[in-house]
Amino acid sequence: MSSDTPRPGEIALPFDPGKQPPDAGLVFIGRIRTPWTDRHACPRNGRDSQDICRIEIDPPYAQGLQSIETCSHLFVLYWMHEARRDLIVQSPAFDSRSHGCFALRTPIRPNPVSLSVVDLLEVAGTTLRVRGLDCLDGTPLIDIKPYFARSDAIADATVGWHGQRTHPGRRSTAI
């Protein structure tokens, strides 16, 4: 995908962060199983989807799940392995203006780590059944964390540019 030409208003870095010598290394600790095998089929926002997905933890990390069954919601961090990493300013389809990648939830960013809040429905061995994901089937898992309402829930948070977007109904993979 890195050979794609940026759209008008978009800016690519003069280098590909994915081809730089890494500053730190991630290990994949499992995989995410979803109904979506094509990125255009993925929900624009996992919170809008009722589909149930599975998080499969690799056996060596199974003990790390202890007590997770007591959590109602989790943060899930995953690696967007198909995303390019060099598009620093992007033009989502639902807005006529461009925005920096750090003001967007697009998977396209220097470190393509995505973050979702999920409802935890069931823990069965090393498999978690959850609702709220939006990624491709087979996406590599990086981390799971408990969601604490006291520190993580900010009901009055606002994203100014998003409230003023010009085509709010239009679909885009680059939220």
Restricted to residues 80-119, the positions that interact with a copy of itself (CB under 8 A) are: 81, 88-89, 97-105, 109-111, 113, 115, 117
Q: What are the CA-CA distances from residue 14 to residues 19, 85, 87, 89, 157 (Å)? A: 12, 11, 10, 12, 34
Site membership for a copy of itself, residue 79 (CB under 8 A): yes
Site membership for a copy of itself, residue 75 (CB under 8 A): yes
CB of 35 to a copy of itself, least distance (A): 19
Site membership for a copy of itself, residue 157 (CB under 8 A): yes
State which amino acid sits at residue 25. G
Task: Name residues contacting a copy of itself, limited to 118-137 (CB under 8 A).
Answer: none
Site membership for a copy of itself, residue 150 (CB under 8 A): yes
The residue written with tokens 């390019």 in the block is 84
Closer CB to a copy of itself, 41 or 115, in the complex: 115
Task: Evaluate whether 2 touches 86 at the Cβ level (below 8 Å).
Answer: yes
Q: How many residues bind a copy of itself (CB under 8 A)?
A: 75
- The Cα 92–Cα 169 span in angstroms is 12
CB of 120 to a copy of itself, least distance (A): 10
- Give me the 44-63 binding string for a copy of itself, x by CB under 8 A, dash otherwise: -xxx---------x--xx-x
b/e burial code for range 97-128 (CB count within 10 A of at least 16 → b): ebbebeebbbbbbbebebebbbebeebeebeb
